Structure 1
Amino acid sequence: MELNIVNEYDFTFEYEQQFKGLLKRAIKVTKRETNIVLSCIFVDDKKIHEINRDYRNIDRATDVISFALLDDDTFLVPEEEAIELGDIFISIDTCKRQAQEYGHSFERELCFLFVHGVLHLLGYDHMKEEDEKVMISLQKEILDETVTG
């Protein structure tokens, strides 16, 4: 398991161990392959707005965007090689606002957004109500054992 953190936002990232723990927990809970690689990139609202507009045709900022490299099971990788899942972009500006709005810590919100992005990279979504229930349940199971606040 490899987690690459890219900090394009001017803040001190102190949560690498929490993120690694959450990733391990997500892999365990979803019963997925452990030999994976993914990147998490911290950006501001302006950058995530550009990404959302350019790649999703949604002209506004958002909190998290995931770009999965594996969209189906037809992608074959030799067993000894790591599987590159993709990239998660998190807006720190939106994360700060949402933490305040929801009445919990910045750490809790940041970890939630990371887990949400990881689940998308693992193939989960929330477009249908039944899929959303599954994703919410997984997020809760992963976060509640690992993160407080």
Structure 2
Amino acid sequence: MTVFIESECEFSFDFDYEKVANDVINTAMDLLKFPFEAEVSITITDNDGIQSINKEFRNIDAPTDVLSFPMIEYEAPGVFDAIESNDDLFNPETGEVILGDIVLSVPRIISQAEEYGHSVLREYAFLIAHSMLHLFGFDHMTEAEASIMEEKQREILGLLNISRD
């Protein structure tokens, strides 16, 4: 698995953010039994950076906490059958499936951790877990979809012993 992390702003976390990202991504892949090696890109930015991306791609002129840009359209969430037959989904240099991009806002990670009464580590890991589920085709547009995503997010963080404390 390859995780590319690009920082567009200055920040300092009291944990190894690269290791946590790798751990969350690996755990999500294991939980969902993703059958391939994969590549994920993460951009860490500020509110202005994520607002610009949000406006460009979603026509929403406001900052948000995380954006997910899946590279794969799934028949159903977490169903990976069609990937193998589509060479365009694989990086020709590495053979890894290109899952997509995650964009995170550092100020929102920090403020939401404070707002929800948990650690910055937990919020960062949660947002990556949430985004990974989007990269696997999950969504939260209906109550049923949201319930499934929430359960899988809890499972991912639980497997990593990352709690709300």
* TM-score clears 0.5: yes
Mapped to 2, the partners of 1:33 and 1:129 lie a distance apart of 28
What letter matches 1:63 in structure 2?
A: D
Any gaps of 5 or more consecutive residues in structure 1? Answer: none
**Which stretch of structure 1 is more off in the superposition, 12-21 or 49-58?**
12-21
- Per the normalisation by structure 2, the TM-score is 0.83
Cross-structure match for 1:124? 138
Mapped to 2, the partners of 1:90 and 1:21 lie a distance apart of 17
State the percentage of identical aligned residues. Answer: 36
Mapped to 1, the partners of 2:31 and 2:159 lie a distance apart of 11
What letter matches 2:9 in structure 1?
A: Y
What letter matches 1:111 in structure 2?
A: A
Mapped to 2, the partners of 1:83 and 1:2 lie a distance apart of 10
- Aligned counterpart in structure 2 of residue 109 of structure 1, from 109, 123, 138: 123
Cα RMSD (Å): 1.9
Cross-structure match for 1:11? 11
Cross-structure match for 2:112? 98
What letter matches 2:60 in structure 1?
A: I
1:40 to 2:63 alignment:
no
* Aligned residue runs from structure 1 range 63-102, under 5 A: 63-72=65-74, 73=82, 76-77=86-87, 81-102=95-116
What letter matches 2:86 in structure 1?
A: L
Cross-structure match for 1:51? 53
- Per the normalisation by structure 1, the TM-score is 0.92
Cross-structure match for 1:61? 63
**Which stretch of structure 1 is more off in the superposition, 13-22 or 82-91?**
13-22
1:70-111 residue CA offsets vs partner (Å, 9 max, x unmatched): 123477026981100111000001111100000111111011
1:20-61 residue CA offsets vs partner (Å, 9 max, x unmatched): 121111111111134100111101001111111111011211
> SS of the counterpart of 1:88?
strand
